[in-house]
Structure 1
Amino acid sequence: MHVFIVADHAHVNGGQARVAIDSALGFAGRGHRVTLFAAVGPVDPRLAGGGVRVICLNQDDVTTARSKLAFAAQAIWNGRAAAALARELAGLDPRETLVHVHAFAKALSPAIGTAIRASGLACLYTMHEFFLVCPNGGFYEYPAARICHRTPMSRACLAANCDAQSYPRKLARVARHVGLAQVARLPELFRHVVTISDLQERVVAQHLPRGTTFHRVDNPISVAQAPPREAPPGDFLFVGRISTEKGAPIFAEAARRAGVRAVFVGDGERAAELKARYPEATLLGWRDAPSVQALMRGARALVFPSVWYEGQPLTVYEALACGTPVIVSDACAGREAVEDGETGFWFRSGDPDALAAHLTRLRDDATADRLGRAAHARYWAAPLSLDAHLDRLAAVYETVLREAALGRARAGSAAGPRAVAPA
């Protein structure tokens, strides 16, 4: 099998790229031919050593672009990426090649759809976020700090100032979405869509063509198994971007009301404001993965107060794997990992009093220990390992390739033998 992976970045800059690169290395390690096509470098050095062929265009993303106007044009329609992808896909054997798109919205643009369609190769898309159906990718109104329930690209959607930065940027994203839906026709192209949570599928199903087939494939979690912790649990921990949509201010306020210490690992646009308003909170900044997991193992609970949908929040699963209970907002996909009252608690999204009540309950060492041991046992009964991820993904690939082969056979039968005129 030739697994041809398409992603915005050729290095790990977040969960989306990490899953794409880990799966590339995993399939190469299993003896498959693997290609990674990306817009933005640098290239992760593990890829060459792992036997993955990399095509990187060394283009900009929003963080490196010198000209925001030029990058806006690239993000709307990246013709260079489409042409390069078309050249790479030309001539590949359709019997063994599958194109798996992980990301396009940060650099490649919807233009890649024209190249994939022209190749005639089997393809699928992993929905790490919501850009396939929502112009701003999150079903979230940033200025109003609330989940958006408007129909994407409706009049109400077009009129809404939902972008995190400005309405003109919203209009640029609308232009990109017009190209996505009307020119590249990505929702029709990706008849097979991988989702990473049940909530995600429920949200997007109504906005995709009726013939779309959904495949649930959990992202892999990289946590080494260790015995349940023995030491008394410590403080309450937040890991992630310190922003409104991630619920960081809600946690800080709830911790104050509960009289407990809030520890934040991460950074973001609300960090300075949060530190000034809640001087009793501890802000550690970003930490590497081993340090974060060590903090999780020592925490009384991970608090995940996100007020938007999320996809599959990996920190929730990492905490459970570390034997740490999780208090999670009931509006986000992270709740699917937590058994309310058994491995953690759900709380009413956006409500600091509801969160404070659970923080107070977990001040009891025995309760925190009981939930932590249950979290550890439940996670390791069916761990989200890379091998489990690859096994599930390989089964999906086989399904997609088999369907494509049947489609080619039917097309050949419909064409039939050429008629011969009578003498």
Structure 2
Amino acid sequence: MIAVAERIEAPIVPSALPSGGRLLSINNYYYRRGGAEVVFLEQNRLFEEIGWDVVPFAMRHPRNLPSPHERHFVEEIEFGHAYGPMTRLKHAASIIYSREARARLRDILGEARPDVAHFHNIYHHLSPSFLPVLRQAGVPVVMTVHDLKLACPAYTMLRDGKVCERCRGGRIHNVVVNRCIKGSLPLSGLVMLETAVHRALGLYRDTVDAFAVPSRFYIDKLVEWGWPRERFVHVPNFVDSTALRPGTTVGEGFLYVGRLSPEKGLDTLVRAAALSAQPVTIVGTGPMEDELRALAAETGADARFLGFRTGEALHDAIRGCRAVVLPSTWYENAPISVLEAYALGRPVIGARIGGLPEMVREGETGAIVPPGDVAALAAELTRFGTLPAETLLAMGRAGRRWVETDFSRDAYRDRLLDLYASLRGGRR
């Protein structure tokens, strides 16, 4: 696998890579729900464009895209619904080990043997119960690592809005002690049991041939927690820059795009906006919205809240700012919002945490500040607020060039093709 990783980091020659094959593409949801689903669905489209037969495997859901393979999808589990006691008990068992997912996966293999299986998020809804079936059938398996679930039972290494690594070294009882799952003792206990069972059965460690990881930081962090480095391959996220028109003039103020939750460092952003007297626009929804509005009123920050935006409305908001700001205080992986900002010709001010520093070239495509440091962020907002328009546009152009070379749809597909070829050739 080390050789594979080294080859993927080298320049890629698309004409030398294989095209055509059958991809079993797996994810809990089969509609655009979050970042993982966007990558999952766009990856399917990329491979269909070059003649691959893509067979999806997911959970049934009213919002799913149409698929001729839907008959093989597993029963819907939607947390928050008012299920009865017996149904809740059945779902709890399926979260840990879904016999239905295992059986339906066998049906798929009976109809069409894939050349490779690639899964994204399968926790809770599908569960990893079907992975040994793929292993026994000799199908190479790839997992894209969208979060830190392989190490942290609660996905995020986050507790009470701060980074937490207390479960390191197998001490997963801390997820119950600290009620890490929505502050609930029963849910935290269920997730601890889920983690214990999956680790005891080796459902990830013994069945996945390669882990595709969008950030080098996540690779390093998982290695710190005991995973062998050779199991991981750096495969950055991508955006289709050809579909995004960059801004040609500099806008006003600064923009945040994303969920309004404590780990995003938005209190730092509002306070920095007040300290620097620079306007900020916040796009997104989440549990902190009321608190952030109150903080803006209290501090006198010039903060506008636009709510949820998508498509051209979101792109216009990005083009209308001087820079996009990501003030996170948790271990971000590789936010696509950074790549979208670059593709739209805007620099990025990011926090020095998680995978963000590897996505910002200081002074060339943006700036990096310490997480949670109001004064440092305010200083950058002030500086970017006075930079000449041509300097900001030059940063935006540099970011777009970077996206077009290293984070393009073709680069992403070619990296995976190279990885798939190495696995299909038996070099695991």
- Comparing 152-161 with 230-239, greater Cα deviation is found at 152-161
Q: Does the Cα contact within 8 Å between 1:136 and 1:163 map onto a contact in 2?
A: yes
The CA deviation string for residues 144-184 of structure 1, in whole angstroms up to 9 with x for no partner, is 52343641531674544433433432221111111221125
Report the Cα distance in structure 2 between the residues aligned to 1:399 and 1:65, rounded to whole angstroms: 46
Residue in 1 that maps onto 2:188: 170
Q: Which residue of 1 aligns with 2:139?
A: 121
Aligned partner of 2:41 in structure 1 is 21
Q: Could you tell me which residue of structure 2 aligns to residue 370 of structure 1?
A: 391
Which secondary structure state, in structure 2, belongs to the residue aligned with residue 85 of structure 1?
Answer: helix
Q: How far apart in 1 are the matches of 2:373 and 2:83? A: 41
SS in 2 for 1:21: helix
> Tell me, which stretches of 5 or more residues in structure 1 are unaligned?
408-423
Q: Which residue of 2 aligns with 1:5?
A: 25
Equivalent residue, structure 2, for 1:402:
425
Q: CA deviation at 1:327?
A: 0.8
Q: Where in structure 2 are the equivalents of 1:13-412 lying within 5 Å?
A: 13-42=33-62, 44-45=64-65, 55-64=72-81, 66=83, 70-90=90-110, 92-93=112-113, 97-141=115-159, 143-148=160-165, 150-151=167-168, 153-154=170-171, 157-158=174-175, 159-210=177-228, 212-224=230-242, 229-279=247-297, 280-366=302-388, 369-383=390-404, 384-403=407-426
Cα distance change on mapping 1:226 and 1:91 into 2, 3 Å: closer
After TM superposition, give the deviation of residue 239 of structure 1 in Å. Answer: 0.4
For 1:77 and 1:131, the matched residues in 2 are separated by: 16
Change (3 A) 1:42 1:155: closer
The amino acid of 2:57's aligned partner reads F
Change (3 A) 1:253 1:211: closer
- Shift, 1:44, TM fit: 4.6
TM-score by length of 1: 0.86
Matches of 1:208 and 1:47, distance apart in 2: 39
1:197-245 per-residue CA deviation (whole Å, 9 max, x = no partner) reads 1101101123355374222112221344667534332121110000101
Please state how far the C-alpha of 1:63 moved relative to its aligned partner: 4.8
Segments of structure 2 that go 5 or more residues without pairing to the other structure are 1-20
| Larger relative contact order (CA 8 Å, sep ≥ 6) | 2
Supply the AA of the counterpart residue of 1:4: L
AA in 2 matched with 1:23 = Q
Distance 1:54 1:330, change over 3 A: farther
CA contact (8 A) 1:110 1:179 kept: no
Q: 1-side partners of 2:396 and 2:164: how far apart?
A: 29
**Number of aligned residue pairs:** 398
- Deviations along 1:97-148, one digit per CA (max 9) or x if unpaired, are 211111111411222223333333111111011112221111222x252343
| AA at the equivalent of 1:395 | D
Residue 196 of structure 1 deviates from its aligned partner by 0.3
The Cα RMSD (Å) is: 2.5
What CA deviation, in whole Å up to 9, does each residue of 1:358-379 have, x standing for no partner? 111111141x641442232343
Give TM-score scaled by structure 2 length: 0.85
The question of whether the paired residues in 1 share the 8 Å contact of 2:151 and 2:168 is answered with no
Report the AA paired with residue 272 of structure 2. Answer: A
> What is the percentage of aligned positions where both structures have the same residue?
26
Q: Which residue of structure 1 lines up, in the alignment, with residue 5 of structure 2?
A: none
Tell which structure's C-alpha radius of gyration is larger. 1
Structure 1 residues 76 and 204, CA gap change in structure 2 (3 angstroms): same
Looking at structure 1, the residues matched to 180 and 326 of structure 2 have their Cα atoms a distance apart, in angstroms, of 23
Q: Residue in 1 aligned with 2:3?
A: none
Residue 64 of structure 1 and its aligned partner are, at CA, apart by 4.7
Provide the C-alpha distance between the structure 2 equivalents of 1:22 and 1:155, rounded to a whole number of angstroms.
34
